[in-house]
A and B are shown apart, each in its own frame.
Chain A
Amino acid sequence: MYHIISIRDFERNDLDYLLDRAGEFDTGKYQPGMLDNKLVALLFFEPSTRTRMSFATAMARLGGKSISVDSVEASSIVKGETLADTIRVISSYVDAIVLRHPKEGAARLASEFSSVPVINAGDGAGQHPSQTLLDLYTIRQSMPVDGINVGLLGDLRYGRTAHSLALALSLYGVTLHTIAPKGLEMPASITLELRERGMEVIEHPNVEEAVKELDVLYVTRIQRERFPDSASYYNVASSYRITTDLLDGVNDHLMILHPLPRAGEIDPAVDCTPYARYFEQARNGVPVRMALLHEVMK
């Protein structure tokens, strides 16, 4: 059975294969009824807009159907049911499960109790492999991923998309530039792992220092709840804000990506520049998730 749990489980060939498949779905090279009669359960125990809707859209485009649980409050988890029991039961109803859960390792646990494939749609501060695939897919639309300079900006401590992406990029000879507020730096264990994988990781004190040498700037949300008060949040958040002024003199081909939702990290004026690619990135969630759903249920 093919589960999609962590980017650590993938070799470069696996990623390239899935990205190629996503490209085929993106350009219409598929039969619309490929997942006719298939049913997927979308179990989202944390809020989500893009991930949940793009999985539902992907399933519908392939001719399949989806059922969903949209919150803990609407499930038997509030009655004390374990995730293990929930998964045992739901997996007897459907052909695949897409799971978002606040606890790290939840998807791995689910895969141990499920009789059908499990796709991790984000587990706490852990992994979010389908987001990483669509990030890579978006980069690959514009440039080869090999050997480029990628900047990760924002909450690199708790941001699961940043961790997953960094691990994936380490398979492509990318140089990683990290820019994070004090206290929200990339965990040392992940930086160590990246370096052990042969990745060059350069830490920068501010975005101005790094931005001109980047091919991709990946911005993540700085979460207000990580700060003791609003004043300290605004103080930090404003110093990590991407504005059009900041983009003077950057590479012409610079791509600015963001997993969205954003909360002020990117000035809306940047949306009109050729560097802004985050809405295109969000759109790419559909073909990438079509590839994943088809792969686990074919």
Chain B
Amino acid sequence: MTRKDPSGGLIISPIKNGTVIDHITAGEALNVLRFLGITGSTRECLSIATNVESKRMGTKDIVKVENRELCTEEVDRIALLAPHAKINIIRDYKVVEKMGVEIPEILRGVVRCPNPGCITNTNEPVASAFEVLDKGLHCLYCDWLIKDNIANHII
């Protein structure tokens, strides 16, 4: 888990309450935050570590979100980017719940359809909706298929 630095401190200190997302695919931490809708303008107190040594994965990323417990629907979104991620819900410094992530069947409002002619890219009051398939993300409105670089299309 979190590695001690030579000075004896921790790269990321423990949090009292909130969510720790561990075992994120190395380099995807910032995209994971975008998937969760956590940006520079939101108020969460965040700790992010990237390319941390991991016995299982070689290297991994870790994200800690203080004072916010992510629900299953939120964390499942990140399965596309970090299928091995583990979610730890922390209360009073203790892990009270530990869960993996499952790829959701439908992804709503997370990814923008790359098709400029898609109705979801207009002023209509609908969120984008993609069916998650083995071959990619299938737009439920215009049938466009996003095969790769999903992170490039995050809203």
Contact = CB atoms under 8 A, between A and B. Distances in A.
A105 interface: yes
Interface in A98-136: 101-106, 108-109, 112, 123-127
A165 to B, nearest CB: 15
A127 B117 CA distance: 13
Contacts of B145: 189
Contact of A126 (B125, B142, B147): B142
B117 A104 contact: yes
Contacts of B125: 82, 84
Among B126, B135, B139, B147: residue with most chain A CB under 10 A:
B126
Contacts of B140: 105, 108
B117 A103 contact: yes
Interface of A: 6, 8, 80, 82-84, 101-106, 108-109, 112, 123-127, 189, 192
Interface residues of B, number: 19
Interface string B119-136: 110111110000000010
Nearest to B139: A105
Contact of B118 (A82, A103, A112, A192): A103
26 contacts: A6-B143, A8-B143, A82-B122, A82-B124, A82-B125, A83-B122, A84-B125, A101-B119, A102-B117, A103-B119, A103-B122, A104-B115, A104-B117, A104-B118, A104-B119, A105-B118, A105-B140, A105-B143, A108-B119, A109-B120, A109-B124, A112-B126, A127-B143, A189-B144, A189-B145, A192-B135
Nearest to A106: B119
A134 to B, nearest CB: 21
Given A104-B142, A126-B143, A109 B126 contact: yes
Contacts of A108: 119, 140-141
Contacts of A103: 117-119, 122
A82 B123 contact: yes
Contacts of B117: 102-104, 124-125
Interface in B87-130: 115, 117-120, 122-126
Interface of B: 115, 117-120, 122-126, 135, 139-145, 147
A201 B126 CA distance: 36
Among A84, A102, A103, A192: residue with most chain B CB under 10 A:
A103
Contacts of A189: 144-145, 147
A121 to B, nearest CB: 15
A26 to B, nearest CB: 31
A83 B143 contact: no
Nearest to A125: B117
Given A84-B125, A189-B145, 20 more contacts: A80-B123, A84-B124, A84-B126, A102-B117, A103-B117, A103-B118, A104-B117, A104-B143, A105-B118, A105-B140, A105-B141, A105-B143, A108-B119, A109-B124, A109-B126, A109-B141, A124-B142, A126-B142, A126-B143, A189-B147
Contacts of A104: 115, 117-119, 141-144
Q: Which 4 A-B pairs have the closest CB atoms?
A: A105-B141, A104-B142, A105-B119, A105-B142
A62 B142 CA distance: 32
Nearest to A190: B143
Contacts of B124: 82-84, 109
A108 B117 CA distance: 14
Among B119, B122, B124: residue with most chain A CB under 10 A:
B119
